[in-house]
Amino acid sequence: MNTTATETPIALEGGNPEIASAAPPVPHRWGAAEKECLDAMLEQASLFYWGGPQTQLLTERFQKHYPLKYVMPCSSGTAAIHIAVSVLGIKPGEEVIVPPITDMGTVIGILYQQGVPVFADLGAHTYNLDPADVRRKITSKTRAILAVHLTGNPAPLRELRALADEHGLVLIEDCAQAWGARYDGQPVGTLGHIGCYSLNDFKHIGCGDGGIVATSDERFGPLLQMSGDKAYDRVHGTKTPAFLAPNYRITEPQSAVAAAQMERMTGITRRRHALGMRLSAQIADIPGVQPPEIDAKAISSFWFYLLRLEEGAFSCDRTQFVKALLAEGVVAQAGYIPMPLYQFDVFKNHHFFGGQWPVRDCGLTTMDYRKVSCPNAEATLTSCVYLRIHQGMDEAYIDGTARALRKVARHYHT
C-alpha cells in the first residue's frame, strides 16, 4: 500500500467520495413515438407480423440504418442467430467458430442445428475474436465464423471477413450489444454475410423481446423468412415445408415499439460512444488499469464498459478494488459472466439433448469441451471490472469515475 501524507484518502477509508450524488438513472425509454405506433396498431384488425404495418415500418426503419436487402424481424436475438445458422444448411457435425465470452444465445442455434461451436480465443483487451486464433481453429468441417461485438465494440471485421473469404466461410455478426456501432464507416452487421440483432429489454434499443436477422446475400436472404416461420413461405403463400424450422415470429406489438426505438438509435449510441471514449481517455495512463481497446476505425455502442486490472499490480483483490470504487460512488461490478461458455455444465458434460449429444455419440465430432482452453478469455473474466455506461449519464459522472479509478488504483498500487 502506497500511503503518503499528501494522498487523498479513498472513500472506503473515510475520504470524500469522488461522486457525491447517485449516478444519473437511465432516461425513460418510451414516449410519444412508441405510443403513436401502438395507437396505430390498435386500429388494425390483425396483430400478425406478415403484412403487418408495424413490422413493415420496423423493417423500413431498420433498413435506413442497415441497408440490407432481406430482413426478418423475429422473436429474439437468439432466434435471429438460430435462423442465420439454419440458412447455411449446416450439416450435423459441421463447425462454427465462436468466442467464449458471450450470451448463451450466440451458440444455442448452432447446437439446435446439430452444428458444433468451436471456441477461439479473444484479443486480450478487445474482448473480441482474435483473427490469428480463429485461423488456427479452421478445419475442413468449418462452415462459419460467428463474431460477437462484445460490449458493443466492433470485432475486427475486415480481417475476419478476409479470413472467411479466403476459406469459403460465412461470417455471421452477432450485433446484439452493438446497436448503432460502426466499423470503417459502415454499420455492424453489414460487413459480414449475415447480421443478427437483439431487441430484448436489456439492450439499449429494445421492445421487451425481439430480434432481427438480415442479409443481402442471395444464397441466404430468400430463406430467412421461412426459417423463422415453420418453413411456411409467406412470400408465395405456400405451407408445404421442405425443411424443419421453428416458429420465431415477432408480433405487431413488439414491432410497434421497436419501430419507434429505431429512431432513437443514433442519438443513444452517439452519446454512449462519447461517454465511453471520454472515460478511456482519462484513465489511459493509470498504472495497472487497462481500458478496452477500441479500433480507431470503430464506433462502439458501449453497451457496458469493461476494463481489466493488471495481474499483480495491486495489493488488494478485485473484490476489494470494486468495493472501493462503489464507496466512491461508481456503479461497478467485479466480473461479467462467471466463466467462459465452455466451462458451463451443459458444455462440460455435453448434456445438450436429454443428457446426450447425438453428433458426438454418432461420431460426427470429437469435440471435448473439457479440453478447451482460451487463456485470454479466462484471464479477462478473472481480471475484469464492469462499469455501467448509459445515455443518461453526464460528463461529471464520467469524470468522477475516472478520478475514483485513479485514486483507488494509486491507493492499492504495489
Ligand X SMILES: *Cc1c(COP(=O)(O)O)cnc(C)c1O
Residues 6+ apart with CB under 8 A from 144: 85, 88, 90, 96, 97, 164, 169, 170, 171, 172
| Shortest distance in whole angstroms from residue 237 CB to ligand X | 29
Written as nine digits, the cell of 414 is 504495489
| Shortest distance in whole angstroms from residue 105 CB to ligand X | 3
- Buried b / exposed e along 340-373 (16+ C-beta atoms within 10 A): bbbbbeebeebebeeeebebbeeebbebebeebe
Residue 1 contacts residue 371 (beta carbons within 8 Å): no
- In terms of CB distance, is 384 or 398 closer to ligand X? 384
List residues binding ligand X (CB under 6 A). 76-78, 102-103, 105-106, 148, 174, 176-177, 198, 200, 211
- In terms of CB distance, is 321 or 347 closer to ligand X? 347
| Shortest distance in whole angstroms from residue 20 CB to ligand X | 33
How far CA 43 is from CA of 37, 40, 47, 253, in Å, comes to: 10, 5, 10, 12
- In terms of CB distance, is 127 or 321 closer to ligand X? 127
Neighbour count for residue 376 (Cβ, 10 Å): 18
| Shortest distance in whole angstroms from residue 254 CB to ligand X | 11
Written as nine digits, the cell of 31 is 414516449
CB-nearest residue to ligand X:
77
| Shortest distance in whole angstroms from residue 356 CB to ligand X | 25
Distance of alpha carbon 323 from its chain centroid, rounded?
A: 27
- In terms of CB distance, is 34 or 174 closer to ligand X? 174
Helix 395-412 / helix 318-327 crossing angle, nearest 10 deg: 140
- In terms of CB distance, is 200 or 343 closer to ligand X? 200
- In terms of CB distance, is 10 or 87 closer to ligand X? 87
Residue 160 contacts residue 215 (beta carbons within 8 Å): no
| Shortest distance in whole angstroms from residue 112 CB to ligand X | 13
